[in-house]
Structure 1
Amino acid sequence: MTQEELINVLIVFSHTFLGAYVMMFTEFREPRRVWRLRWAVTAELDIAANGLLCAVIGRDIWMYCAVFTLTIPIIIITVFCSLHKGLRVVFSVCTCLWVGCVAFSCSETAYWLSGGNLWIRLAVHVAAYVALYFVLCRFRPYYKRMVRLLDHGWSVLCMIPTVTFLVALYIINFLLTEKTMISVIAICGITIICTCAYSLIYLFFVKVLDDYELKTSSDLAEVRRFALERQLEETREAENLMRVQRRDMSCRWMMLSSFVEKNDTSAIAELIGGAQKKLDESVSVVWCKNQMLNATVAAYFTKAKREGITVEAKLDIPDDIPVDAAELSMVFANALENAINACTLLPPGKRKIICKCVEYPRFMLKVENTYNGKVRFGSDGLPLSSEDGHGIGTRSIAAFCKKYDASWSYDASDGWFTLRIAF
Structure 2
Amino acid sequence: MVVTVIGLIRFGFSLLFGVAVSVLFAGIELTRKNRLIIGLICVIFLFIQTACWWFLGLDLTSKLYPLIIHLPLIVIFSLYHKRPWLISTVSVLSGYLCCQAPRWVGFLAGAAFGSRLANHVFYIGAVFLSYYFLKRYVTRSVRQLMEMSNKSCLLLGGVPLFYYMFDYATTIYTDVLYRGTEWAVQFMPSTVSVFYFVFVLLYYSETQKQASIQRERDMLDMQFRQAQTEFASLRQMQQNAMAYRHDMRHHFALLQGLASKEQIEEIKKYLRTAQSDMDTITPMRFCENETVNLILSSFAVKAHQSGILLTVEARLPDALPFSDTELCSLLSNALENAIQASENIADSKERYIKLRVYAKNNKLCIDIRNSYHTEPIFHEGLPVSKKQGHGFGTKSMAHIVEKHGGVYQFSIKDGCFIFQATT
The two structures have a TM-score, normalised by structure 2, of 0.53
Q: Within 5 A, what are the aligned runs for 1:1-80?
A: 3-28=3-28, 32-80=31-79
Q: Within 5 A, what are the aligned runs for 1:132-143?
A: 132-133=130-131, 134-143=133-142
Does structure 2 retain, via aligned residues, the 8 Å contact 1:18–1:96?
A: yes
Alpha-carbon distance, 1:164 to partner: 0.6
Alpha-carbon distance, 1:32 to partner: 4.8
**SS where residue 114 of structure 1 aligns?**
helix
Letter in 2 for 1:122: H
User: How many residues were matched structurally?
Assistant: 298
Q: Which one has the largest radius of gyration?
A: 2
Could you say what the CA RMSD is over the residues aligned between the two structures, in angstroms?
A: 5.2
Alpha-carbon distance, 1:147 to partner: 4.0
Q: Within 5 A, what are the aligned runs for 1:108-127?
A: 108-111=107-110, 113-114=111-112, 116-127=114-125
Aligned residues: percent identity?
Answer: 11
Alpha-carbon distance, 1:98 to partner: 0.5
Higher mean alpha-carbon deviation, 202-211 vs 117-126, is at 202-211
Q: Within 5 A, what are the aligned runs for 1:357-396?
A: none
Q: Within 5 A, what are the aligned runs for 1:190-229?
A: 190=188, 194=192, 197=195, 208=206, 212=210, 215-216=213-214, 219-229=217-227
Higher mean alpha-carbon deviation, 140-149 vs 229-238, is at 229-238
Alpha carbons of structure 1 residues 246 and 162: separation in structure 2 relative to 1, 3 Å: same
**SS where residue 152 of structure 1 aligns?**
helix
Alpha-carbon distance, 1:159 to partner: 3.5
Alpha-carbon distance, 1:153 to partner: 5.0
Alpha carbons of structure 1 residues 32 and 239: separation in structure 2 relative to 1, 3 Å: same
Alpha-carbon distance, 1:71 to partner: 1.5
Partner of residue 162, structure 1: 161
Alpha-carbon distance, 1:187 to partner: 7.9
Alpha-carbon distance, 1:116 to partner: 3.5
Letter in 2 for 1:25: F
Partner of residue 326, structure 2: 297
Alpha carbons of structure 1 residues 196 and 278: separation in structure 2 relative to 1, 3 Å: closer
Q: Does 1:82 align with 2:81?
A: yes
The gaps in structure 1 that reach 5 residues or longer are 255-274, 287-292, 313-331, 353-423
The whole-number CA distance in structure 2 between the counterparts of 1:2 and 1:306 is 86
| Of 284, 291, 298, the match for 2:291 | 284
Does structure 2 retain, via aligned residues, the 8 Å contact 1:64–1:173?
A: yes
Letter in 1 for 2:46: I
**SS where residue 91 of structure 1 aligns?**
helix
The whole-number CA distance in structure 1 between the counterparts of 2:54 and 2:65 is 13
| Of 403, 407, 416, the match for 1:343 | 407
The gaps in structure 2 that reach 5 residues or longer are 253-281, 295-321, 335-355, 365-395, 410-420
Higher mean alpha-carbon deviation, 132-141 vs 189-198, is at 189-198
Deviations 1:179-213 (A, max 9, x none): 85849x96898389659957985997698468636
Deviations 1:350-385 (A, max 9, x none): 954xxxxxxxxxxxxxxxxxxxxxxxxxxxxxxxxx
Alpha-carbon distance, 1:95 to partner: 0.8
The whole-number CA distance in structure 1 between the counterparts of 2:43 and 2:67 is 16
Partner of residue 263, structure 1: none
Alpha-carbon distance, 1:228 to partner: 1.7
Deviations 1:319-377 (A, max 9, x none): xxxxxxxxxxxxx99973533574348xxxx954xxxxxxxxxxxxxxxxxxxxxxxxx
The whole-number CA distance in structure 2 between the counterparts of 1:47 and 1:170 is 24
Does structure 2 retain, via aligned residues, the 8 Å contact 1:39–1:78?
A: no
The whole-number CA distance in structure 1 between the counterparts of 2:109 and 2:197 is 24
Alpha carbons of structure 1 residues 241 and 114: separation in structure 2 relative to 1, 3 Å: closer
The whole-number CA distance in structure 2 between the counterparts of 1:334 and 1:141 is 34
Alpha-carbon distance, 1:84 to partner: 2.7
**SS where residue 291 of structure 2 aligns?**
coil
Partner of residue 345, structure 2: none
The whole-number CA distance in structure 2 between the counterparts of 1:146 and 1:75 is 19
Letter in 1 for 2:13: F
Alpha-carbon distance, 1:87 to partner: 0.6
Deviations 1:377-420 (A, max 9, x none): xxxxxxxxxxxxxxxxxxxxxxxxxxxxxxxxxxxxxxxxxxxx
The whole-number CA distance in structure 1 between the counterparts of 2:82 and 2:145 is 14
